[in-house]
Structure 1
Amino acid sequence: MGEITVEINGKERSIEIKKNSIRVDSLLKSLEIYPETAVVVKDKTLLCDDDRVHSGEKIKIVIATSKG
């Protein structure tokens, strides 16, 4: 088991993961975030759905909202 730090729209929290790493798309699904509405960044690098986030890492998720 592991833990990652996630900042979502400026609010930081720790997420426990079952293994040593998790795919970005699986993480977003577990957080009930639609991948089409979010951008995931690690160390100033944009992550794709099939990239992995490892235990101990910190990522930032920015959720886009539409006001139309």
Structure 2
Amino acid sequence: MGKILVEIEGKEREVEIKGKKVRVDKLLENMGIYPETAVVVRGKGLLCDDDYVLDGERVKVVVATSKG
């Protein structure tokens, strides 16, 4: 088991993962977020759905919202 530190909506939380890495789309699904509605940022770069996040890394999730 591994853990990833995720910042979302200004709050940080630890997300447990199976193994040492997880694909971005699976990470979002595990958090209850549709991958099509969010972007994941590591450092200054955007990650694609098929990129991996490694155990111990910190990422930021930005969820698109409609304010109509």
Scaled by the length of structure 2, the TM-score of the pair is: 0.95
The CA distance in 1 between the partners of 2:67 and 2:21, in whole Å, is 35
Scaled by the length of structure 1, the TM-score of the pair is: 0.95
Which residue is equivalent to 2:14? 14
The CA distance in 2 between the partners of 1:33 and 1:20, in whole Å, is 21
- Give 1:35 shift: 1.2
Identity between Structure 1 and Structure 2 (%): 65
Which residue is equivalent to 1:49? 49
The CA distance in 1 between the partners of 2:38 and 2:62, in whole Å, is 6
Is there any run of 5+ residues in structure 2 with no aligned partner, and where? none
The CA distance in 2 between the partners of 1:57 and 1:11, in whole Å, is 16
**Count, aligned residues:** 68
The CA RMSD measured in Å over matched residues stands at: 0.7
- Give 1:39 shift: 1.1
> Match of 2:19, as an amino acid?
K
Which residue is equivalent to 2:66? 66
Is there any run of 5+ residues in structure 1 with no aligned partner, and where? none
- Give 1:36 shift: 1.5
